[in-house]
Amino acid sequence: MHKNKFAAMALAVAFSLPACAGGLLTNTNTNIAFNRNFARDGVIAIDGVYSNPAGVAFLPKGFHLSLNIQNAYQTRTIESGMTVPSLQGTPFYQPMKMNGANDDNLKTYKGEASVPVLPSFQAALVYDKWSFQLGFSLIGGGGKCTFNDGLASFERPVAMIPAVLAQYAQDPQIQALGLQLGTITPGYSVDSYMKGQQYVFGTQLGVSYKVNEHLAVYGGFRFNYIYNKYQGSITNISANIGGENVNLYDYFGTQITQLSDKAASYFALAATTSDPQLKAQLEAAAAGFTKGAETLTGVQEQVADKHLDCTQNGWGITPIIGLDYRIGNLNIGTRLEFTNHLNIENNTKRDDTGLYGDGVNTPADLPGLFTLGAQYSILPSLRVMASWHYFFDKDAKMADDKQKLLAGNTQEYLAGVEWDINKYITVSAGGQRTHYALGNGSYLTDMSFVTSSYSCGFGAKFKIAKNASVNIAYFWTNYEHFDKSYSQDLSVAGQTISVDCTDRFHRTNRVLGAGIDIDL
């Protein structure tokens, strides 16, 4: 099994864990107000420090603060299968059926991601013309995702081992060495595990200026710090040999010892004989056992336990500009976040895959974002909102230029409504459509995938004091299924085998949050 292919446990490739709403890599749910009504880009409120920073200039003079905590939970489910066209008609045609795949040749891998505490705050000091703003949130990532049974990309090369063993069992040279590799009950097993964590901490600073009673402008930046951690393993690779499931590393180790002992014995016998012909025969036999031991040593290395423990760090700055215009009952806000070009550096404690060298830098840009939103007051107590988000994903460089596999950029369409029941209670609800331009799905892997979705949220704001209000909200996301079929070559024990693969992607997402707004 060729190391770079077998170590398809490329555990940390782009294991994105967005903590819920937004584009491929971006969280837009930085405030509870967003969770209960997604279309916040044309709203004048303290959460505008993120969503409409220019509009913050129109807040009442004074100090405004919003503190928020969210709890998010995701599941990621991939149904994966594999067929080997060259082995049709054999037990190895659909090899993953030997280890849990169902009658449709699909095996389910499920990961769970949780963000127990997702904190954020926004603060603004507003004067007659100027406002000074500060915000903090997990602008990307924010979760831990664990696949206790690994993923199909780990298992597929292992699934080919029984077929390779069956082929070797028929090799006259293997038979001549006395190696037992055959079985009438082919099967395999493997223990694999992966856990990934991603955090993109964003601290935003900016200033807005009220040009006149209708127009305000904003300029600022967000300092982004990335911290990723990946741990994974592939252990106890086993296969059925002679009717018994055996750990291959240990089994090959025993065979190597036996072959080496035989080689030593034959060399010793050759040294004691004066018959040239017999000596040559004994030395040839010894050389054959030595070569067999060397070959098995190479194979044994490929079925050894493999582990990965790697953290990644990086930082960068996102420039941000914005405008807000209001007239009568209508307010319009827009902002532009520029693409943040940055690299992340590996801090590797262990890497048996050979793919994550310590100190190696990898591009991990945060895509730019353009937003346009509006709010219209139908009545003093009733408001409707709409927004549009456009992410510049194709301009954000990723490892191996993965962004080029996208068919286009992400777009989001958002709408909401807000109603003041009385001066103490406000309720709101909203929806969001996120469309990823995934094309034929080449961008997606079982280690990193997103699918287009619909989100719905609702909640309320309660005025609990003259200068304080509490927000509570809940939203969930319904992701579309995405089916991907593709062919790939697997390198197993020095052989290249073409296989046809299927992956069916599905996710769930739920977020509950609460926060408090204070005006002084």
Beta strands, E only, 154-292? 188-210, 215-241, 244-247
pLDDT category at 298 given cuts 50, 70, 90 is: confident
The pLDDT value given to residue 143 = 66
pLDDT category at 193 given cuts 50, 70, 90 is: confident
Convert the pLDDT of each residue in 437-480 to its tens digit: 998 888 888 877 888 999 999 999 999 999 999 999 999 999 99
Convert the pLDDT of each residue in 99-111 to its tens digit: 999 999 999 998 8
Beta-carbon count within 10 A of 68 CB: 25
CA angle 243, 249, 252 (to 5 degrees): 70
Distance of CA 69 to the CA centre of its chain: 23
CB-CB contact of 426 with 417 (8 Å): no
Convert the pLDDT of each residue in 305-342 to its tens digit: 999 999 999 999 999 999 999 999 999 999 999 999 99
Tell me the C-alpha distance between 155 and 234, whole Å.
Answer: 9
3 state DSSP class of 52: coil
Tell me the C-alpha distance between 38 and 432, whole Å.
Answer: 7
The pLDDT value given to residue 450 = 85
Phi-psi group of 464: left, alpha or beta (phi > 0 → left; psi -120 to 50 → alpha; rest → beta): alpha
Convert the pLDDT of each residue in 234-276 to its tens digit: 999 999 998 999 999 999 999 999 999 999 999 999 989 888 8
Is residue 140's pLDDT more than 80?
yes
* Of the candidate ranges 16-30, 143-157, 161-175, 314-328, the one whose mean pLDDT is the lowest: 16-30
| Residues in contact with 400: Cβ distance below 8 Å, sequence separation at least 6, in sequence order | none
Asked whether the whole model's pTM tops 0.85, one would answer yes
Tell me the C-alpha distance between 285 and 277, whole Å.
Answer: 12
The pLDDT value given to residue 142 = 65
Tell me the C-alpha distance between 40 and 19, whole Å.
Answer: 18
345, HSE (Cβ side, Cα atoms, 13 Å)? 7
The pLDDT value given to residue 126 = 97
The pLDDT value given to residue 469 = 96
Which residue shows structure tokens 């509870």?
32
CB-CB contact of 99 with 159 (8 Å): yes
Tell me the C-alpha distance between 113 and 76, whole Å.
Answer: 8
CA distances 422 to 60, 66, 382, 419, Å, are: 21, 22, 11, 9
Rounded average pLDDT over 150-170: 87
Is residue 287's pLDDT more than 50?
yes
Which amino acid makes up residue 26? T
Is residue 9's pLDDT more than 60?
no
Convert the pLDDT of each residue in 83-97 to its tens digit: 999 999 998 999 999
- In the DSSP assignment, the letter for residue 443 is T
Q: Name the more confident of 358 and 472.
A: 472
497-510 per-residue burial string, b: 16 or more CB within 10 A, e: under 16: bebebbbbbbbebe
Is residue 120's pLDDT more than 90?
yes
Q: Name the more confident of 165 and 25.
A: 165
Convert the pLDDT of each residue in 33-54 to its tens digit: 999 999 999 999 999 999 999 9
The pLDDT value given to residue 419 = 97
Rounded average pLDDT over 499-508: 92
Convert the pLDDT of each residue in 210-237 to its tens digit: 999 999 999 999 999 999 998 888 999 9
Rounded average pLDDT over 397-403: 87
Is residue 15's pLDDT more than 80?
no
281, HSE (Cβ side, Cα atoms, 13 Å)? 6
CA distances 438 to 405, 407, 413, 444, 471, Å, are: 8, 6, 17, 8, 35
Is residue 304's pLDDT more than 80?
yes
The pLDDT value given to residue 22 = 56
The pLDDT value given to residue 212 = 96
Mean pLDDT of the chain: 89
